[in-house]
């Protein structure tokens, strides 16, 4: 935000239309520097314009010093200071952190007295020291989190707070079903973000009487179990509540059996099939991979080639092309030269225009050839008789430039005319067809003709199915060419195999150009090595079979943020069949037997049920150590010798995608579907999707009703948790030492506000509560604001908008309360009289704030909230009549509609008061700079407004019967007077003044002079009464009555 913009800080929302005008008293020169403030010390007539320049420059730069234009007025220095303060103030508005115009200056009396008393300083006014109600609390200013947080966690654990609260839960369950983290080592900040977000939700739902614990699950192996244990202890240190004694693990036999059941149900519904299809294959881990197991690192460079295949035959109907161009080739482009041996066709787009071009070699190319390592021209270009080529018309000029040749268009034709021409396979001289492909053939790259190897590409496979093309895949599990690849046999396709193919093509005059090509290429997410597309026999789930149902279910789920719905919709609608088999020995087996001779799979209801019951008892290891005879149901036992077990296991996404079945439907305390799944946005193609697909396929329902996204406590867990709450977890989040320092500072201020509340309630009992209708206006307004905040925060919890809660808390607790209500309240609390109405009504408001704030922050900052709760100076009794010993036993604060329902005019009026107060503070600050006053209590404020209604409302406050609403108390000055006119000579002598616009329209004049009368020894307010009370000559009337001495009637008459 712009520095130097002065906006009232206490009247949200900040209105950009707030313009403050100031002028000197003498002479009356209107000063209209927009968004700047000047209050000047008279007489400075000719100084104003220069000053405005200085001001604007200072306000726009970080400099706090005005080194202005040789002005020699003695008052210049003090004005510069005023500017400096203004700059501070604007920082304050934008950063909401500094304390400016702090109460330290204006309500110094009691505060200083308290401070001095604490320091044991003897002072003159010590006579009344014991009558001042100083704040008192056992709650530390410092969090000391490394010690205190574990203590609190221990207390929760020892007292089984979570269990007791959950047991006492009478409402329906809220189920946040936690996903399956991989056992991936020590925790990092992403884990913190993830788990803390979930914990915030659970704690909130618990406070709203809705808890079911968070679940943790892990991968099925020993390492996983150890990691789970270590992650668990770290999560506990973050203060994450969960059913840690009873986590679910995918390697539990119960879980595995449920997963087999899901698989079986899908198989029996016909959604599972076995097929030979190209899948993502990782040579480095020798298994098929799902899309979700791939990553696309930046900077992958492939060897791309332009190759040509000789046309040798034409469709029966037309043969004229070959007559006209007997030496004709088709040009293709590929980034995977190693797939050329598996080429089965070349595909064209029937709607594109193609051209037959003659190739004329250029000399320039020859000179640049060889120099460029990224580019290598083929031998064919050196040949005397370069054949004519077919390429897409649109690409002719681009290819000319790329190949360094001149291409002469000799004939144009439509793609559809090329179908069924035949060409010679460049490696093994098979005749292959030109086929019609789909819209995937474009003129963005390449030649417009696509090398088609159905064994190595998804689109190629689809096109191949249409034409009955062979699915060649002469590559083994390790990514090595098989014997089927002839001369390339034994070579690694991603290495020397690729090189050999390129070299072969060049030697046989089939290569035009080879060049490096940087693009996105899939890597194995575990090994970080490139994958290949390779046709193998795999098991698939036919997404086609239940895609419509899945799409329908997505629409009924609430997604946060809303874009999540688009993401998962797009992914589900485009999803090809899900390859669920993996060639691994860990995990849950695909429960299938193969006939030894026919290779026919055996899998039916009986076999699946039988295997399920074995795994439920013995775990999935049984599949490996038991014999086929034992694994087959009795009915098949005599034929056991004809079968063998399958060795494939299921995709881990099938494991995790079955968690709804294995956990939600199996555990007594849980139910299906879950209320919430919460993970990072990457899970739209991972867990969210796998869970959706398995659930839809078997139950027809989504497994969740609502879903979501996200992201070494050197600081306390609560600071980290505060950070988690502050980020918009739907996008990328930032963290660093600077950010944590800021969080720590905000935490400290929040703690300070809570400490203020605790300390001023040290003698509080619920019995002292002042009935609502008897409260002063300021208190009713404060309760209304509090209730609004609680209500808004509740709405944001319900919508998982934690960063908004963070913003509201920061603004309300740290800025608004501290700067107004808490500040003004000090007088009432410290010197208003221990049991007085003014103090008790204030404490009524403070108690309401403490009890509400501590409970609404508890889900985010459980340790801080509990620490406050353990230091509560009074007992809190729940609506059920039990004493809440822990903060979470206190539940969520019930909304008090009555507090909310104050008239709109009243809210508007307080808005004006707060704005006016800010303006008054500005003039006071200038008066302080000018050494007229020290503290605000040394001052008297004059207000004039031509707006009669505002003037009368303000006068009403001046005459308020209760001490709390009195205008000068709100300003924290000793006196305030509403004056009827500015014409009166008396007011023209007021030494400091200025004008401002309240709410952008109501003009108000503010004057400041020294307060009249003398300073009261006890409260430091000035009063004419001081000196008039014979036995307490240093006290004001208020203090005199407070200390319990009967006031003489004649004094009471003096106002």
Residue ranges binding Zn ion (CB under 5 A)? 1016, 1018-1019, 1036, 1039
- Cis link prior to 43 (omega < 30° from 0)? yes
List phi, psi (to 5°) of 542. -80, 95
Q: Least distance to Zn ion from the beta carbon of 978, Å? A: 23
Shortest CB 1007 distance to Zn ion, Å: 24
Instruction: Please give the torsion angle defined by the CA atoms of residues 349, 353, 357 and 362, in that order, rounded to the nearest 10 degrees.
Output: -90
Closest contact distance (angstroms) between CB of 1045 and Zn ion is: 13
Q: How far is the CB of 742 from Zn ion (least distance, A)?
A: 40
CB of 1033 to Zn ion, least distance (A): 12
819 or 1034: whose CB is closer to Zn ion?
A: 1034
CB of 778 to Zn ion, least distance (A): 20
* Least gap, CB of 940 to Zn ion (angstroms): 16
Q: Is 140 helix (H, G, I), strand (E, B) or coil?
A: coil
DSSP string across 482-551: -GGGGGGTT-BTTTHHHHHHHHHHHHTT-EEEEEEEE----EETTT--B-EEEEEEEEEE-GGGGHHHHH
Extended beta strands in 973-1025, E state: 975-978, 992-998, 1002-1010, 1014-1015, 1022-1023
Cα–Cα distances (Å) from 936 to 114, 207, 923, 1024, 1036, in that order, read 18, 43, 10, 17, 17
> Residue 585 gets which letter from DSSP?
S
87 or 107, CB closer to Zn ion? 107
Please, which residues have CB within 8 angstroms of residue 851's CB and are 6 or more apart in sequence? 876, 890, 893
Which H/E stretch holds residue 553?
Answer: helix 547-555
CB nearer Zn ion, residue 776 or residue 832: 832
Which CB sits closer to Zn ion, 722 or 1039? 1039
Q: What sign results for the dihedral spanned by CA atoms 506, 512, 518, 519? A: negative
Spell out the residues 6+ positions from residue 216 whose beta carbon is closer than 8 angstroms to its own. 178, 181, 228, 231, 232, 235, 242, 244, 247, 248
Q: Which is nearer to Zn ion, 418 or 1036 (CB)?
A: 1036
Least distance to Zn ion, CB of residue 1025, Å: 9
DSSP assigned state of 214: B
Residue (582 or 1018) nearer to Zn ion, CB: 1018
**Beta bridge pairs of residue 280:** 289, 533
* Nearest residue (CB) to Zn ion, 390 versus 1036: 1036
Give dist(CA 49, CA 62) in Å, integer.
21
Question: Tokens at residue 696, please?
Answer: 């839809």
Instruction: Kindly state the smallest distance separating residue 923's Cβ from Zn ion, in Å.
Output: 24
Question: Rounded CA gap, 443 and 438, in Å?
Answer: 13
Task: List the structure tokens of 399.
Answer: 């290819």
β partners of residue 700: none
Decide whether 133 or 711 has the Cβ nearer to Zn ion.
Answer: 133
- Output 332 or 1036, the one with its CB closest to Zn ion: 1036
Q: What is the number of alpha carbons within 13 Å of residue 618 lying toward its C-beta?
A: 14
Minimum CB–partner distance for residue 831 and Zn ion (Å)? 6
DSSP for residue 676: B
Q: How far is the CB of 1019 from Zn ion (least distance, A)?
A: 3
CB 818 within 8 A of CB 9: no
Question: Least distance from C-beta 1017 to Zn ion, angstroms?
Answer: 7
Cα angle 559-562-563, degrees, rounded to a multiple of 5: 115
Nearer Cβ to Zn ion (131/542) = 131
Query: Which CB, 560 or 1036, lies closer to Zn ion?
Result: 1036
Report the alpha-carbon distance of residue 618 to residue 253 in Å, rounded.
7
**Distance (Å, rounded) from C-alpha 893 to C-alpha 899?**
13
CA distance 586 to 251: 10
Q: Minimum distance between the CB of residue 40 and Zn ion, rounded to whole angstroms?
A: 33
Kind and range of the H or E run holding 359: strand 353-361
* Between 913 and 1036, CB nearer to Zn ion: 1036
CA atoms of 707 and 701, how far apart (whole Å): 14
Q: How far is the CB of 935 from Zn ion (least distance, A)?
A: 14
Closest to Zn ion by CB, 900 vs 960, is: 960
| Omega before 319 within 30 of 0, i.e. cis | no
109 versus 179: smaller Cβ distance to Zn ion? 109
Q: Which is nearer to Zn ion, 824 or 951 (CB)?
A: 824
Q: Which is nearer to Zn ion, 93 or 1016 (CB)?
A: 1016
Looking at the Cβ atoms of 1008 and 1016, the one nearer to Zn ion is 1016
Q: What is the DSSP string of 938-979?
A: GEEEEEEES-HHHHHHHHHHHT-SSSTT-HHHHHTSSEEEE-
Q: In whole angstroms, what is the distance from residue 72 CA to residue 61 CA? A: 23
Cis peptide before 831 (omega within 30 of 0): no
Query: What's the min distance (Å) between Cβ of 1013 and Zn ion?
Result: 11
Q: How far is CA 221 from CA 586, 620, 878, in A?
A: 8, 12, 46
From the CA atom positions of the chain, what is the Rg in Å? 40
708, exposed or middle or buried, with CB in 10 Å at 0-12, 13-18, 19+?
Answer: buried
**Dist. CA 435–CA 430, nearest whole Å:** 15
Residue-wise burial string across 733-751, b where 16 or more C-beta atoms lie within 10 A, e elsewhere? bebeeeebebbbebbebbb
Q: Cβ of residue 1021: shortest distance to Zn ion, in angstroms?
A: 5
C-beta of 1039: minimal distance to Zn ion in Å? 3
- Least distance from Zn ion to the Cβ atom of residue 1035, Å: 6
Please, which residue, 925 or 1017, has the CB nearer to Zn ion? 1017
């Amino acid at each position: 935000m712009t520095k130097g913009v002065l906006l009232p800080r206490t009247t949200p929302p900040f209105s950009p239309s707030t313009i403050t005008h100031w002028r000197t008293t003498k002479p009356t020169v209107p000063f209209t520097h927009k968004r700047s403030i000047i209050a000047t010390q008279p007489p400075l007539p000719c100084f104003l314009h220069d000053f405005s320049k200085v001001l604007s420059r200072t306000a726009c730069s970080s400099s706090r010093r005005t080194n202005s234009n040789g002005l020699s007025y003695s008052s210049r220095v003090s004005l510069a200071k005023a500017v400096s303060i203004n700059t501070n103030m604007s920082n304050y508005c934008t950063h909401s952190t500094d304390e400016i115009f702090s109460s330290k200056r204006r309500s110094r009396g009691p505060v200083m007295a308290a401070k001095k008393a604490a320091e044991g300083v003897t002072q003159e006014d010590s006579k009344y020291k014991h009558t001042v109600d100083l704040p008192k609390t056992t709650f530390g200013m410092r969090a000391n989190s490394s010690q205190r947080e574990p203590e609190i966690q221990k207390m929760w654990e020892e007292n089984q707070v979570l269990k007791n609260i959950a047991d006492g839960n009478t409402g329906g369950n809220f189920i946040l079903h936690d996903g399956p983290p991989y056992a991936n080592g020590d925790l990092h900040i992403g884990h913190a973000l993830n788990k803390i977000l979930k914990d915030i939700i659970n704690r909130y739902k618990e406070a709203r009487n809705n808890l079911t614990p968070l679940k943790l699950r892990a991968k099925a192996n020993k390492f996983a179990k150890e990691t789970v244990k270590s992650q668990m202890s770290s999560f506990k240190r973050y203060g994450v509540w969960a059913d840690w004694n009873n986590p679910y693990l995918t390697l539990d036999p119960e879980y595995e059996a449920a997963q087999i059941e899901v698989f079986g149900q899908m198989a029996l519904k016909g959604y599972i099939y076995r097929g030979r299809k190209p899948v993502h294959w990782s040579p480095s881990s020798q298994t098929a991979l799902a899309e979700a197991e791939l990553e696309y690192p930046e900077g992958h460079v492939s060897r791309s080639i332009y190759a040509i295949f000789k046309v040798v035959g034409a469709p029966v109907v037309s043969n004229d092309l070959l007559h006209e161009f007997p030496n004709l080739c088709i040009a293709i482009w590929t980034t995977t030269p190693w797939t050329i041996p598996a080429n089965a066709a070349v595909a064209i787009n029937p709607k594109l225009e193609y051209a037959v071009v003659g190739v004329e070699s250029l000399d320039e190319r020859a000179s640049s050839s060889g120099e460029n390592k990224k580019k290598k021209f083929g031998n064919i270009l050196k040949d005397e008789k370069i054949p004519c080529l077919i390429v897409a018309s649109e690409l002719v000029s681009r290819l000319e430039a790329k190949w360094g040749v001149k291409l002469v268009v000799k004939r144009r034709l439509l793609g559809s005319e090329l179908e069924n021409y035949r060409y010679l396979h460049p490696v093994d001289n098979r005749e292959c067809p030109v086929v019609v492909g789909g819209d995937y053939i474009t003129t963005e790259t390449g030649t417009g003709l696509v090398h088609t190897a159905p064994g190595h590409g998804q689109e190629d496979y689809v096109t191949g199915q249409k034409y009955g093309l062979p699915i060649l895949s002469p590559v083994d599990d390790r990514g090595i060419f098989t014997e089927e690849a002839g001369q390339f046999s034994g070579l690694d396709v991603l290495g020397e195999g690729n090189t050999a193919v390129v070299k072969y093509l060049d030697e046989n005059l089939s290569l035009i150009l080879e060049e490096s090509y940087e693009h996105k290429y899939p890597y194995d997410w575990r090994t970080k090595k490139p994958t290949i597309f390779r046709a193998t026999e795999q098991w698939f789930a036919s997404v086609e079979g239940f895609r419509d149902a899945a799409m329908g279910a997505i629409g009924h789920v609430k997604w946060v943020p809303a874009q999540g719905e688009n993401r998962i919709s797009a992914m589900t609608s485009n999803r090809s069949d899900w390859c669920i088999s993996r060639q691994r020995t860990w995990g849950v087996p695909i429960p299938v037997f193969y006939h030894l001779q026919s290779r026919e799979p055996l899998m039916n209801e009986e076999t699946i049920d039988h295997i399920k019951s074995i795994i439920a008892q013995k775990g999935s290891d049984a599949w490996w150590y038991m014999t086929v005879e034992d694994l087959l149901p009795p009915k098949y036992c005599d034929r056991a010798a004809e079968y063998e077990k399958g060795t494939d296991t299921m995709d881990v996404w099938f494991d995790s995608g079955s968690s709804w079945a294995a956990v939600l439907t199996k555990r007594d305390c849980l139910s299906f579907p879950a209320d919430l799944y919460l993970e990072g946005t990457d899970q739209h193609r991972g867990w969210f999707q796998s869970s959706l697909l398995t659930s839809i396929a078997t139950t027809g329902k989504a497994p969740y009703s609502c879903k979501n996204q996200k992201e070494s406590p050197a600081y306390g867990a609560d600071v980290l948790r505060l950070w988690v709450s502050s980020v918009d977890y739907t996008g990328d989040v930032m963290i660093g030492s600077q950010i944590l320092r800021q969080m720590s500072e905000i935490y400290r201020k929040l703690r300070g506000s809570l400490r203020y509340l605790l300390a001023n309630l040290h003698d509080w009992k619920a019995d002292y509560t002042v009935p609502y209708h008897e409260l002063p206006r300021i208190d009713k307004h404060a309760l209304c604001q509090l209730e609004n905040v609680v209500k808004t925060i509740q709405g944001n919890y319900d919508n998982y908008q934690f960063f908004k809660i963070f913003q509201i808390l920061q603004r309300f607790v740290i800025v608004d309360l501290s700067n107004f209500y808490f500040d003004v309240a000090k007088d009432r609390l410290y010197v208003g009289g221990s049991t007085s109405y003014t103090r008790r009504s204030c404490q009524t408001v403070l108690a309401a704030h403490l009890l509400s704030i501590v409970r609404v922050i508890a889900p985010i900052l459980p340790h801080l909230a509990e620490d406050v709760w353990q230091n509560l100076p009074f007992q809190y009794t729940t609506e059920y009549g039990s004493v809440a010993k822990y903060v979470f036993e206190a539940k969520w604060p019930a909304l008090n509609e009555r507090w909310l329902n104050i008239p709109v005019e009243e809210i508007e009026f307080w808005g004006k008061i707060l704005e006016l107060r800010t303006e008054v503070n500005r003039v006071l600050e200038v008066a302080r700079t000018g050494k007229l006053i020290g503290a605000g209590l040394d001052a008297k404020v004059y207000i004039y407004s031509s707006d009669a209604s505002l003037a009368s409302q303000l006068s009403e406050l001046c005459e308020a019967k209760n001490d709390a609403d009195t205008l000068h108390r709100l300003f924290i000055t000793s006196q305030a007077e509403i004056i009827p006119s500015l014409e009166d000579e008396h007011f023209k002598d007021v030494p400091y003044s200025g004008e401002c616009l309240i709410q952008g329209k109501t003009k108000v004049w503010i004057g400041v002079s020294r307060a009249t009368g003398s300073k009261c020894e006890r409260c430091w307010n000035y009063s004419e009464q001081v000196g008039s009370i014979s036995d307490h000559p240093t006290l004001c009337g208020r203090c005199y009555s407070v200390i319990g001495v009967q006031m003489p009637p004649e004094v009471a008459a003096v106002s």
